[in-house]
Chains A and B, each alone.
Chain A
Amino acid sequence: MIRVVLPAHLRTLAKVDGEVTLAVTGPVTQGSILDALETTYPTLLGTVRDHATKKRRAFIRFFACGEDFSLAPADAPLPEPIGRGTEPFLIVGAIAGG
């Protein structure tokens, strides 16, 4: 199972506590993780990436194993520990605003 850490506001919206775990079929990528996330928690549709274009929202960043994958292609493979579930995939809201 893939582990995903959501920003606090999205945890509230999805009505979950702590990490979420997702079953991902096929290669483990940003795209496949977000597909599984939105399928499991449809209230998150549009909150991490655009409904239609699937483009990452401007103030959202993705981290895995200490690296920033925000600008990586959505279909690029993520590090193996993400696929094994030993490390979480982090969805982070940028620290900005008031």
Chain B
Amino acid sequence: MSRVRVLVGTKKGAFILTSDGKRADWKVSGPHFSGWEIYHLKGSPADPDRIYASQTSGWFGQIMQRSNDGGATWEAVGNTFAYDGTPGTHKWYDGTPHPWEFKRVWHVEPSRTDPDTVFAGVEDAAMFKTTDGGKSWAELPGLRGHGSGADWQPGAGGMGLHTILIDPKDPKRMFIAISAAGVFGTNDGGTSWRPLNQGLRSEFIPDPTAEVGHCVHRIAMHPSRPNTLFMQKHWDVMRSDDGGAKWTEVSGDLPTDFGFPIDVHAHEPETIYVVPITSDSLHFPPEGKLRVYRSKSGGNTWEPLTKGLPQQDCYVNVLRDAMAVDSLDKCGVYFGTTGGQVYASADGGDHWNAIVRDLPAVYSVEVQTLP
């Protein structure tokens, strides 16, 4: 019988939740790395027991951890993230040049085929790669150096590269997203990059349709349709059907189109999920009701999913990396909140329950479907 392992990164450590395929009873392990911020942890599709974790601290900096046994034991691996060459500057909040400074790893994305190859998205925004299981990391400098890097500017949460999508059919084809620069794509494994932000409109930047500068919160892709991308932007839910060349808005009848995560059903490429948040200045659900919205038409028409979710006095947020799906039938959907709950639905979002509550603020949720 299949099993599910949920990897949860929080403000004060990592937690690993496991269940059988029924997804009714959950065992919680952790905290791992207690007291440290765990921005993200993710398992290798090629070897699910190989898990990488980003462990950070305002005091002690960045640590990278690797497990070879599904998270039972961990070893610290390389933590040197040196920008290639002379880093140069990007724009600071006030528009002045500011030196590129490594702060932390926001996101780890293991290769689909090689457990020793992992990409890391970092703040200040750049992409690094290891091919030796995390012992050493090298920047892919073509991203920062493609031409617009000097114009990138941090969002309120920092200038982080937070999303890395790898085309399952062509691993050299990748999409990444940066707050607040936008989406970029590569067809050659990360050597050369191009901005992919046409069609985005952000009223809060000097040129609302600029080539870069958009605060993209998250992008998602269904493995069977690598040309279709979905996006939760600072405001607006968007989709592209041509690999990011052109985006169109699909916010439709959402109560608010501000939010952070977006994800795609494992078996229905046009079924997508978002968690609407009141506004950029009010990071909690509208009316104190925690509602996941599901569109079965790839956007525009949305339905609220509320069964099992708090529908009064709920003022948590759901961060960009804190939603994931499993690949069981029916598809499981999972998300974590800044209030420390991880909610799961074993039926595509129709019914929800908290599989753990009272954790520290949840930063990230990843799900592994295991044999």
Name A residues whose Cβ lies closer than 8 Å to a Cβ of B: 7-10, 13, 43, 45-48, 51-52, 57, 59-60, 93-94, 96-97
A47 surroundings in chain B (CB, below 8 A): 60-61, 63
User: How many Å lie between the Cα of A47 and that of B82 in the bound state?
Assistant: 15
Given A51-B82, A52-B82, residue A43 in contact with residue B58 (CB < 8 A) = no
Q: Chain B interface residue count: which class?
A: 10 to 19
Task: Let me know if B59 and A59 touch, CB within 8 A.
Answer: yes
Q: Are B76 and A46 in contact (CB under 8 A)?
A: no
Chain A nearest CB from B71 CB (Å) reads 17
Which residues of chain B come closer than 8 Å to A52, judged between CB atoms? Answer: 82
- Asked if A7 and B59 make an inter-chain contact with CB atoms under 8 angstroms apart, the answer reads yes
Of the A-B pairs whose beta carbons lie under 8 Å apart in the complex, a sample of 25, sorted by A's number, is A7-B59, A7-B60, A8-B35, A9-B35, A9-B36, A9-B57, A9-B60, A10-B60, A13-B63, A43-B63, A43-B76, A45-B79, A45-B80, A46-B61, A46-B62, A46-B80, A47-B60, A47-B61, A47-B63, A51-B80, A57-B61, A59-B58, A59-B59, A60-B60, A93-B60
Would you give the 0/1 interface string for B48-84, flagging 1 where the beta carbon is closer than 8 Å to chain A? 0000000001111111000000000000100110100
If A60-B59, A96-B58 are given as contacts, then 5 extra A-B residue pairs at C-beta distance below 8 Å, sorted by A number, are: A9-B36, A13-B60, A46-B79, A47-B61, A57-B59
Interfacial chain A residues near B57, Cβ < 8 Å: 9
- Residues of B with C-beta under 8 A to A57: 59-61
The distance from the CB of A71 to the nearest CB of chain B, in whole angstroms, is 18
- Number of residue pairs spanning A and B whose beta carbons lie under 8 angstroms apart: 41
Residues of B within 8 A of A93 (CB): 59-60
Q: Are B58 and A97 in contact (CB under 8 A)?
A: yes
Report B's interface with A, CB cutoff 8 A.
Answer: 35-36, 57-63, 76, 79-80, 82
Bound form: Cα–Cα A97–B30 in Å: 22
Contacts of B58 in A (CB 8 A): 59, 96-97
Q: List, in ascending order, chain A residues with CB within 8 A of B60's CB.
A: 7, 9-10, 13, 47-48, 57, 60, 93
Across the interface, name the chain B residue whose C-beta is closest to A52.
Answer: B82
Closest A residue by C-beta to B35: A9
Query: What is the CB-to-nearest-CB distance from A62 to chain B, in angstroms, rounded to a whole number?
Result: 14
When distances are taken between beta carbons in the complex, the residues of chain A under 8 Å from B63 are 13, 43, 47
- CA of A74 to CA of B332 in the docked complex: distance in angstroms? 54
A51 contacts across to B, CB distance below 8 A: 79-80, 82
State how many angstroms separate the Cβ of B367 from the closest Cβ of chain A. Answer: 28
CB distance from B132 to the nearest CB of A (A): 15
Chain A residues near B62: list those with CB within 8 A.
46
Chain B residues whose CB sits within 8 angstroms of the CB of A13 once the complex forms: 60, 63, 76
Interchain CA distance A94-B58 in the complex, whole Å: 10
Q: A5 → chain B, closest Cβ, in Å?
A: 15
Give the residues in chain A near B79, CB-CB below 8 Å. Answer: 45-46, 51
A9 touches B59 (CB 8 A): yes
User: Which of B58, B59, B62, B82 lies at the interface centre, i.e. has the most chain A CB atoms within 10 A of its CB?
Assistant: B59
Bound-state CA distance A45–B305 (Å) is 47
Smallest CB-CB separation from A14: which chain B residue?
Answer: B76
B59 to chain A, nearest CB (A): 4
Chain A's nearest CB lies how many Å from the CB of B39? 16
Q: State in angstroms the CA–CA spacing of A60 and B62 once bound together.
A: 14
- With a cutoff of 8 Å between Cβ atoms, the chain B residues found around residue A9 in the complex are 35-36, 57, 59-60
Distance in Å: Cβ of A45 to nearest Cβ of chain B: 7
A96 smallest CB distance to B (angstroms): 8
Task: List the A side residues contacting B76 at CB < 8 Å.
Answer: 13, 43
Residue of A nearest to B57 (CB): A9
In the bound complex, how far is the Cα of B102 from the Cα of A52, in angstroms? Answer: 12
